[in-house]
């Protein structure tokens, strides 16, 4: 029997059909593939730590959102510096990028976490038995379709909100998470119907509604209008027994062919970091098309876990003894290994960290616009998992569809399996192949994750107090120069002054048609033709010219006496006051001064100004207007 | 954190014990590797079915039909339940007839052993045979096209919804209806009514008629906090 998994949503609190509740959070993903092994282990360790502190059942959805290219122009058009460029050319540049991004089939992973909430209250003797009986009665009523919806009391909602606050505080120290927004819950519900076809259209005013009823004792109860939630995922679906296990979902935006697979037995031993262990990241990112993953986890505290393991120890010991006594061939290798494994796990559970044990089921959802493409995608995904079996259960496709919607717990128990917290952590569900800045211009695509767009914001480093130097490393022909050119070109379009050092030279920015007439090429040579091209009084910013020119001149002089320093500074000041825009004029001033020290330093600078590369800094004393403009 | 790769071990095998019987009463069974308990379970269930079905075909058929109807009701609806019950009834009758035709060694030894071996070895979709069978039956019983588990007609077929729309009356109704109002409130009536004051601050309003009047005529009643007005048309 299929039931819609949600009855009501209040804020980020999900309430299931039997009154069970969970809080939904969005977890930030972490750029992973290019980390050193130690940092990868740190990512896994955070997840292990989370599994320790969560102390409740939880579910994690890793879903793929189409790259939000429609916001690209809007996000960046305000970054233009109108003093130095034409805003229209900047907008045209961005629109070209947006067109390119819209045409690319890239997706971004988003990770959501639902933690089961148990309202804290005074325990009453026999309450557990009564609530179990109540749950069984309600299931029976649902089976015969005679159930009546029970209102949710305001008091219960307040208790859940309080529990959610505590849960958020507890988990906030371990994972980078925030409360899920109503729009995100709507998206998670609606996207199931259009998986593999398109992004669903969202209703900006959507909010699950409920009738608020005042009870005789003056408190409020809520009777959810469940259709608000159900209508988000009530597309007609067909599971045709004649076809490979899959669903045909007839959504308003097109027919989507979807297949749901469940993860089978994990490898007996996996190396981390490796694709074999990173099952919720590596295979789903490597296939190049969007794959949704969900893990529903039953959390078993250390004491209960130990009790279960000890029972299993009795089992394996019993099997070993039985084989020893009864089998003709004596105890088998498997029986011996089982004994060791059980003892080993008992020792782990008894360790100082007292880890919990997890009972988890993992499933994957793949969507496609037609059946051949769906089969191709399922085959590709199954192949990526290698030795770890991926089952495609017939008759459970409908149920698994609802497992991928935001919900409280899981109803498909066929693929539940024991898992250690280390196995869970090694799956690195929060890992991502995202590269680059969140904002900034589009400079290329990442090699992993199906060619995900990479953006670069040159201002990000200074805004976030990080080093602003960027290293482009790669083999010959891998695109280092092109990337640098793309960054430089985007900065120029935005209105920045770009200084490009081209030692080879092979950047050829002057040959870009859009930059025709705007590129000044400055060759660093002592040639007379290059004289004065880097004259500080000519190229320096007005407010910095004086300091720039003085320090430049003094640096050229080896150990100048204090009198020379004074004369140089005075001459520079006078030249700037006289609106002279070249160091040649400063030298001339020094030489014609009445002061002996000034004459001496003038002579010294005159010699230096006509020597090698120093010519670049000394324009002639009477420059033409052309030189100054340049 | 170390930069060396770590090994992540799985202990799932410990939690999936393959329970087997190697000896009975100290005597080893002549089966290498022992007899799996699951195999024994399947064999015993098949044996019981092979004994009971031919012996009481009608009773088992009725019970099977009831069970199938419950399952059909859960996965589909009333029509599915009926269909499942009929199919189950007929199937049990046929199976009862066929099994009854078999000789006892075939029926009581070979058939249970064969079914148990098959069910024990096959794990379709990575599940146990009975779990797969349940899903398979549910898939074939349930309507093909569904929305949140509810049956839908095939795509393209028009459906007609027949029924009555009930409208809940409110204060704008032209008819005086039963009501109980707790103060503070000012209750207005569109027609004059008779107001009767009872004990303990209770006030009753009824329509004007040919009966003997016991109170005054009014078209609005003001209630103080806690005061109760009952409207009895």
Distance CA A193, CA A185 (A): 14
B226 in Cβ contact with B202 (< 8 Å): no
Kindly report whether the peptide bond that precedes residue A592 is cis, defined as omega within 30 degrees of 0. no
Quick: pLDDT tens for B136-150. 888 888 888 889 888
Kindly report whether the peptide bond that precedes residue A120 is cis, defined as omega within 30 degrees of 0. no
Based on DSSP, count helices (H) and strands (E) in chain B, helices before strands: 6, 12
Q: Chain B residue with minimal CA distance to A142?
A: B74
Q: How confident is the model at residue A627 (pLDDT cuts 50, 70, 90)?
A: very low
A194 in Cβ contact with A292 (< 8 Å): no
Q: What pLDDT shows up at residue A249? A: 95
pLDDT at position A340 over 50 = yes
Q: What pLDDT shows up at residue A96? A: 93
Q: How far is CA A200 from CA A190, A234, A425, in A?
A: 6, 13, 32
Q: How confident is the model at residue A629 (pLDDT cuts 50, 70, 90)?
A: very low
Q: What pLDDT shows up at residue A124? A: 58
**Token pair in block for residue A458:** 């040159």
Distance CA A95, CA A79 (A): 14
Cβ pair A394:B29 closer than 8 A:
no
**Token pair in block for residue A390:** 């991926």
Q: What is the ipTM of this complex?
A: 0.76
- CA-closest candidate to residue B28, choices A373, A90, A329: A329
A403 in Cβ contact with A363 (< 8 Å): yes
Q: Chain A residue with minimal CA distance to B7?
A: A271
Q: What pLDDT shows up at residue A120? A: 56
Q: What are phi and psi of A222, to 5 degrees?
A: -120, 130
Cβ pair A394:B139 closer than 8 A:
yes
Distance CA A52, CA A501 (A): 52
Chain mean pLDDT for chain A: 88
A340 contact residues in B (CB cutoff 8 A): none
pLDDT at position A140 over 80 = no
Q: Kind of pairing, strands B185-197 and B203-207?
A: antiparallel
**Token pair in block for residue A366:** 């793949």
Q: What pLDDT shows up at residue A625? A: 46
Quick: pLDDT tens for A535-558. 999 888 888 999 999 999 999 998
Q: How many CB pairs under 8 A join A and B?
A: 181
Q: Chain A residue with minimal CA distance to B5?
A: A272
CB of A246 within 8 Å of a chain B CB? The answer is no
Cβ pair A420:B144 closer than 8 A:
no
Cβ pair B22:A325 closer than 8 A:
yes
Quick: pLDDT tens for A345-399. 999 999 888 999 999 999 999 999 999 999 999 999 999 998 899 999 999 999 9
Distance CA B54, CA B104 (A): 12
Which of A6-15, A134-143, B63-72 is the least confident region?
Answer: A134-143
Q: What pLDDT shows up at residue A127? A: 66
A426 contact residues in B (CB cutoff 8 A): 8
Which residue is listed with tokens 């500074």?
Answer: A569
Q: Chain A residue with minimal CA distance to B137?
A: A395
Quick: pLDDT tens for A438-480. 888 999 888 776 678 899 988 888 888 888 888 999 999 888 8
Residues A465-502 as b or e (16 or more Cβ within 10 Å = b) = eeeeeeeeeeeeeeeebebbbbbbbbbbbbbeebebee
Distance CA A466, CA A459 (A): 10
Cβ pair B32:A272 closer than 8 A:
no
Q: What pLDDT shows up at residue A185? A: 95
What's the average model confidence in pLDDT over A40-53?
94
Q: A140: which residues sit within 8 A by CB, 6+ positions away?
A: none
A420 contact residues in B (CB cutoff 8 A): 8-11
Residues in chain A: 630
Q: What pLDDT shows up at residue A296? A: 96
pLDDT at position A327 over 80 = no
Q: What pLDDT shows up at residue A503? A: 85
A398 contact residues in B (CB cutoff 8 A): 146, 149
Cβ pair A268:B9 closer than 8 A:
yes
**Token pair in block for residue A127:** 């309450």
Quick: pLDDT tens for B141-178. 888 888 988 888 888 887 777 777 777 666 667 778 88
More confident residue, B173 or A519: A519
B34 in Cβ contact with B20 (< 8 Å): yes
Distance CA A245, CA B139 (A): 11
Cβ pair A268:B138 closer than 8 A:
no
Q: What pLDDT shows up at residue A628? A: 47
Quick: pLDDT tens for A27-44. 999 889 888 989 999 999
Which residue is listed with tokens 């002639």?
Answer: A620
Q: How confident is the model at residue A437 (pLDDT cuts 50, 70, 90)?
A: confident
A423 contact residues in B (CB cutoff 8 A): 8, 10
A30 in Cβ contact with A426 (< 8 Å): no
CB of A280 within 8 Å of a chain B CB? The answer is no
Cβ pair B5:A37 closer than 8 A:
yes
Distance CA A594, CA A600 (A): 11
| A2 CA: distance to closest CA in chain B (Å) | 5
Cβ pair B131:A4 closer than 8 A:
no
Q: Chain B residue with minimal CA distance to A425?
A: B8
Q: How confident is the model at residue B4 (pLDDT cuts 50, 70, 90)?
A: confident
| A628 CA: distance to closest CA in chain B (Å) | 57
**Token pair in block for residue A403:** 């497992």
Which of A124-138, A340-354, A589-603, B65-79 is the least confident region?
Answer: A124-138
Q: How many Cα atoms sit within 13 Å of A20 on the Cβ side?
A: 22
Which of A1-5, A49-53, A456-460 is the least confident region?
Answer: A1-5
Quick: pLDDT tens for A222-233. 888 888 899 999
């Amino acid at each position: 029997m299929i039931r819609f998994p949600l009855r009501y949503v209040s804020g980020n609190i999900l309430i299931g059909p039997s009154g069970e509740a969970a809080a939904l959070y969005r977890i930030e993903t972490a750029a992973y593939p290019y980390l050193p092994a130690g940092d990868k282990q740190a990512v896994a360790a955070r997840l292990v730590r989370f599994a320790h502190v969560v102390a409740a059942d939880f579910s994690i959805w890793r879903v793929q959102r189409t790259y939000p290219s429609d916001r690209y122009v809007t996000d960046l058009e305000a970054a233009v510096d109108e003093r130095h460029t034409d805003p229209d050319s900047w907008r045209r540049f961005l629109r070209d990028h947006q067109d390119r991004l819209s045409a690319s089939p890239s997706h971004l992973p988003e990770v959501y976490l639902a933690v089961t909430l148990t309202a804290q209250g005074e325990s009453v003797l026999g309450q557990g038995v009564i609530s179990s009986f109540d749950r069984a009665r309600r299931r029976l009523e649902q089976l015969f379709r005679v159930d009546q919806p029970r209102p949710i009391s305001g008091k219960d909602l307040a208790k859940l909100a309080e529990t959610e606050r505590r849960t958020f505080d507890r988990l906030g120290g371990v994972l980078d998470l925030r409360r899920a927004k109503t729009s995100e819950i709507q998206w998670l519900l609606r996207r199931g119907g259009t998986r593999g076809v398109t992004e669903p259209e969202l209703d900006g005013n959507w909010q699950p509604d409920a009738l608020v009823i005042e009870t005789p004792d003056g408190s409020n109860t809520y009777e959810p209008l469940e259709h608000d939630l159900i209508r988000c995922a009530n597309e007609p679906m067909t599971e045709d027994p004649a076809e490979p296990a899959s669903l045909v979902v007839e959504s308003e935006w097109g027919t989507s062919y979807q297949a749901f697979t469940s993860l089978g037995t994990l490898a007996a031993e996996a190396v981390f970091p490796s694709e074999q262990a990173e099952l919720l990241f590596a295979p789903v990112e490597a296939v190049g098309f969007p794959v949704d993953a969900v893990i529903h986890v039953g959390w078993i505290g250390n004491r209960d876990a130990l009790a279960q393991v000890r029972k299993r120890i009795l089992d394996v010991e019993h099997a070993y003894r039985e084989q020893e006594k009864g089998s003709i061939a004596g105890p088998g290798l498997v029986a011996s290994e089982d004994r060791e494994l059980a003892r080993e796990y008992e020792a782990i559970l008894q360790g100082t960290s007292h880890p919990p044990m997890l009972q988890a089921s993992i499933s994957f959802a793949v969507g496609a616009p037609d059946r051949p493409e769906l089969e191709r995608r399922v085959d590709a995904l199954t192949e990526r998992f290698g030795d770890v079996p991926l089952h495609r259960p017939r008759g459970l496709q409908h149920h698994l569809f609802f497992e991928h919607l935001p919900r409280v717990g899981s109803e498909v128990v066929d693929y539940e399996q024991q898992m250690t917290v280390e196995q869970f952590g090694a799956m690195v569900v929060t890992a991502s192949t995202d590269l680059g800045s969140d904002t900034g211009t589009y400079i290329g695509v990442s090699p992993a994750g199906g060619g995900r767009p990479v953006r670069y914001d040159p201002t990000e480093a200074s805004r976030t107090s990080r080093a602003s130097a960027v290293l482009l490393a790669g083999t010959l022909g891998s695109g280092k120069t092109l990337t640098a050119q793309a960054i430089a070109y985007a900065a120029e379009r935005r209105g920045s002054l770009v200084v490009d050092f081209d030692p080879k030279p092979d950047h050829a920015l002057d040959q870009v048609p859009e930059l025709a007439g705007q590129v000044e090429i400055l060759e660093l040579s002592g040639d007379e033709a290059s004289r004065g091209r880097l004259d500080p009084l000519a190229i320096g910013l007005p407010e910095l010219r004086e300091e720039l020119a003085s320090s430049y001149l003094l640096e050229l002089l080896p150990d100048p006496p204090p009198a020379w320093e004074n004369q140089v500074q005075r001459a520079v000041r006078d030249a700037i006051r006289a609106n002279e825009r070249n160091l040649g004029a400063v030298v001339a001033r020094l030489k014609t001064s009445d002061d002996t020290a000034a004459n001496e330093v003038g002579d010294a600078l005159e010699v230096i100004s006509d020597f090698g590369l120093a010519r670049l800094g000394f324009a002639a004393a009477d420059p033409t207007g052309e030189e100054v403009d340049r | 954190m170390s930069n060396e790769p770590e090994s992540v071990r799985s202990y799932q095998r410990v939690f999936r014990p393959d329970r087997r019987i190697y000896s009975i009463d100290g005597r080893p069974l002549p089966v290498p590797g022992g007899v799996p308990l699951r195999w024994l379970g399947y064999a015993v269930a098949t044996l019981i079915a092979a004994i009971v079905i031919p012996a009481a075909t009608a009773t088992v058929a009725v019970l099977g039909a009831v069970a199938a109807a419950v399952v059909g009701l859960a996965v589909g609806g009333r029509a599915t339940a009926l269909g499942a019950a009929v199919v189950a009834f007929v199937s049990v009758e046929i199976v009862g007839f066929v099994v009854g035709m078999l000789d006892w060694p075939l029926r009581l030894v070979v058939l249970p052993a064969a079914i148990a071996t098959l069910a024990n070895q096959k794990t379709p979709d990575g599940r146990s045979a009975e779990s797969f069978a349940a899903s398979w039956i549910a898939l074939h019983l349930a309507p093909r096209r569904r929305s949140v588990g509810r049956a839908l007609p095939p795509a393209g077929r028009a459906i007609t919804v027949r029924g009555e729309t009930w409208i809940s009356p409110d204060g704008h109704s032209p008819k005086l209806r039963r009501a109980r109002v707790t103060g503070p409130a000012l209750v207005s009536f569109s027609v004059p009514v008779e107001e009767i004051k009872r004990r303990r601050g209770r006030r009753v309003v009824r329509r004007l008629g040919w009966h003997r009047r016991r109170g005054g005529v009014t078209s609005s009643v003001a209630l103080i906090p806690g005061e109760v007005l009952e409207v009895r048309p």
